[in-house]
Every structure is written in structure tokens, then in C-alpha cells.
């Protein structure tokens, strides 16, 4: 029996499993691979009536135009700051929350807290931003009322550029920590009970048990999540940033995705927007490759 015939027999025998794979594969091809055809717009002077194939090639003209733009460095800097801040603040929080759930002896209390921290994940971006604006409102917001209670003047924090990244990041931490902790809770459920009991019998404290038994077991999961996070550092969410923007905080809130929308899409400059988007994707890919290389050198867990 040849290898091809053996593989075909396996497909026929397990056809139900392969049938389940069809919808996600079709989705991936249609929405991930087919749009790659349009990447060539970054290297063309796109004219709608000529189409993608008929538009003339201009090489790296659009990339040069972006880097020569007075606002390009500020946009890249804002995106990097918010992305790195998000990873630094949001990455360890689910791990700490998962350990807290795992170490809690009152299971009913732990389950209640887990449900409460998990629920914000289902809040839509529009509702989330509305909540942020209400909380920070200078007239009826909780922050303003507390400031007035202690004798301070209410300040419109959302209008101050230096506070934008903090508001964006920590509201995201509140929204996604509970959901992200589920992965680590599941990983901790697989830790050997014998090893945990043996460490306690040997006199280890809870912190020592976590450090020497639990943490090494879930380290591969932590590394993989970190790799995926670093691969999306420059993909700062468009919807939330765009809804939180106002004329006073634009200097700190203008990121690559909102810049593409305003300069590229609203002005129908599709070649320019494609070039900026391609640059953003290349940076993310390079970050993923670098972090994966470091992870492979320092440990045995990596994507490839």
C-alpha cells in the first residue's frame, strides 16, 4: 500500500472529523489567504478603473511616502507604546488570577469570583468605551465624584494625552483578565497531585509549591501565550482607540490602524493604506520570529 492510498483510507475512515474541519479551513482561505492577493496594492499606484492588475507599479514609493510623513514616527511610537504597555500589564495578570483560583480553598467563592471576572469579556467595544467615558465624566463620573469628595478638582482625564495609554490598557486588563485566566486554570488542573502533596510533605510553603511545582508545569503554556502576544504588539485595536479618540488626545491616541483608516481609507488612498498595513504586519512578524528564537534558545518551548 502506498503512502497516498493509506492517507486516503484514513480520510475515508475518519470522514466525520475531516468534515468538521471544512468550515474553519474555508473561513481561513476566504478571509486570510485570498485577501493576500491585494498586498500588491502596496507596490502600485492603484487606479480603480484600471483594477489591481492594470494599475502601474511604483515600487517602494508608498512606503517612502509614509516614512517621510511628519506624523509617521509619532504614529509608530504611539502604537508601540500602547502595544508593549498592554503586554506588560495584561500578560501576567491572568497568570496571577489563575494561581489565586487554584489556591483558594473555598471553591464556591472561587467560582463566583471567576464568573464575575469572566463576564466583562462579553461586553462589546462600544459599550465598554461608553462605560469608560461615563466613569471619567467630569460631572457624573465616579472618578470626578471621588476627586470632589477629597477636595480635588475634577479633570477630564480622557482629554489628557499622557493618560490615554493607561486608560486604554487597564480597561482592557479589567475586561480580558478573567477570560484569559481560563487557559491557565485549565493548565493548572493538569498538575500532578502527587507532586503537590510531596512538596507540602517536604515542608514547602504555598509560594514554594507554586514556584517549583505549578509554574514549571504551565511554563510551556505561558511561553506560547507570550509568543502570540508579542506577535500582535503592533495590532492595537482599531475600534476601541477610534471610539476613545478626541481632538485633545490625538497626539497620543493616533495609532497605525486609525491612521490607515483616516489617511488611507477615508481619502480612498488604497495603495498608501495597504503599504502602511503591510509595514505593520512585517513588524509583527519580525517580533514573533525574534521572540520565538529567544524562547527556543532559553528553553524547549517554541512555535517552530
The answer on pLDDT for 103 being more than 90 is: no
Question: What long-range pairs does 187-194 form, CB within 8 A, spacing at least 24?
Answer: 187/98, 187/217, 187/218, 187/221, 188/98, 188/99, 188/102, 188/214, 188/217, 188/218, 190/217, 191/217, 191/218, 192/217
Neighbour-count burial of 137, counting CB atoms closer than 10 A to its CB (0-12 exposed, 13-18 middle, 19+ buried): middle
Residue 35, C-beta contacts closer than 8 angstroms, at least 6 positions apart: none
The answer on pLDDT for 109 being more than 60 is: yes
CA distance 271 to 60: 11
pLDDT confidence band for 1 (50 / 70 / 90) = low
CA distance 79 to 87: 12
pLDDT confidence band for 144 (50 / 70 / 90) = confident
pLDDT at 37: 85
CA distance 192 to 170: 34
pLDDT confidence band for 4 (50 / 70 / 90) = low
pLDDT confidence band for 139 (50 / 70 / 90) = confident
The answer on pLDDT for 122 being more than 80 is: yes
pLDDT at 176: 94
pLDDT confidence band for 104 (50 / 70 / 90) = confident
- Is 74:259 a contact under the CB 8 Å cutoff? no
Average pLDDT, the chain: 89
The answer on pLDDT for 171 being more than 70 is: yes
The C-alpha cell at 221 is: 503554556
pLDDT confidence band for 47 (50 / 70 / 90) = confident
Per-residue pLDDT tens digits for 263-295:
877 888 889 999 999 999 999 999 999 999 988
CA distance 216 to 122: 31
Phi then psi for 105, rounded to 5 degrees?
-80, -30
CA distance 274 to 43: 9
- Domains in the chain, please, with CATH? 41-298 (1.10.3720.10)
CA distance 35 to 111: 42
pLDDT at 74: 94
pLDDT at 9: 81
CA distance 297 to 284: 20
Query: What are 57's strand-pairing partners?
Result: 44
pLDDT at 172: 94
pLDDT confidence band for 2 (50 / 70 / 90) = low
Question: What long-range pairs does 265-274 form, CB within 8 A, spacing at least 24?
Answer: 270/41, 270/46, 271/41, 271/42, 271/44, 271/45, 271/46, 271/55, 271/58, 271/62, 272/62, 272/65, 272/66, 274/38, 274/39, 274/41, 274/42, 274/62
pLDDT at 43: 92
Highest mean pLDDT among 29-38, 143-152, 165-174, 183-192: 165-174
pLDDT at 140: 86
Percent of the chain at pLDDT above 90? 47
Per-residue pLDDT tens digits for 247-261:
999 999 999 999 999
Amino acid at each position: 500500500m502506498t503512502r497516498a492510498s493509506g492517507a486516503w483510507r484514513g480520510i475515508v475512515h475518519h470522514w466525520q472529523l475531516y468534515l468538521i474541519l471544512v468550515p474553519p479551513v474555508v473561513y481561513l482561505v476566504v478571509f486570510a489567504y485570498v485577501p493576500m492577493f491585494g498586498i500588491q496594492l502596496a507596490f502600485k499606484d492603484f487606479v480603480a478603473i484600471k483594477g489591481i492588475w492594470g494599475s502601474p507599479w511604483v515600487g517602494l514609493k508608498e512606503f517612502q511616502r509614509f516614512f517621510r510623513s511628519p506624523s509617521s514616527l509619532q504614529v509608530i511610537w504611539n502604537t508601540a507604546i500602547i502595544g508593549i504597555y498592554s503586554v506588560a500589564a495584561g500578560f501576567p495578570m491572568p497568570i496571577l488570577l489563575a494561581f489565586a483560583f487554584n489556591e483558594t480553598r473555598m471553591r464556591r467563592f472561587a467560582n463566583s469570583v471567576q464568573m464575575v471576572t469572566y463576564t466583562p469579556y462579553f461586553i462589546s467595544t462600544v459599550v465598554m468605551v461608553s462605560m469608560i467615558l461615563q466613569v471619567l465624566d467630569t460631572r457624573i463620573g465616579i472618578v470626578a465624584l471621588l476627586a470632589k469628595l477629597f477636595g480635588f478638582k475634577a479633570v477630564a482625564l480622557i482629554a489628557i494625552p499622557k493618560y490615554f495609554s493607561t486608560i486604554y490598557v487597564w480597561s482592557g486588563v479589567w475586561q480580558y483578565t478573567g477570560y484569559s485566566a481560563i487557559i491557565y486554570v485549565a493548565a493548572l488542573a493538569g498538575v500532578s497531585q502527587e507532586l503537590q502533596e510531596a512538596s507540602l510533605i517536604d515542608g514547602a510553603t504555598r509560594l514554594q509549591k507554586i514556584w517549583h511545582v505549578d509554574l514549571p508545569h504551565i511554563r510551556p503554556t505561558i511561553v506560547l501565550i507570550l509568543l502570540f502576544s508579542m506577535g500582535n504588539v503592533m495590532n492595537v485595536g482599531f475600534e476601541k482607540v477610534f471610539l476613545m479618540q478626541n481632538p485633545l488626545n490625538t497626539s497620543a491616541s493616533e495609532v497605525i490602524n486609525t491612521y490607515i483608516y483616516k489617511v488611507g481609507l477615508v481619502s480612498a488612498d488604497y495603495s498608501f493604506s495597504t503599504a502602511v498595513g503591510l509595514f505593520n504586519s512585517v513588524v509583527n512578524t519580525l517580533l514573533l520570529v525574534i521572540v520565538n528564537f529567544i524562547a527556543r534558545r532559553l528553553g524547549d518551548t517554541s512555535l517552530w
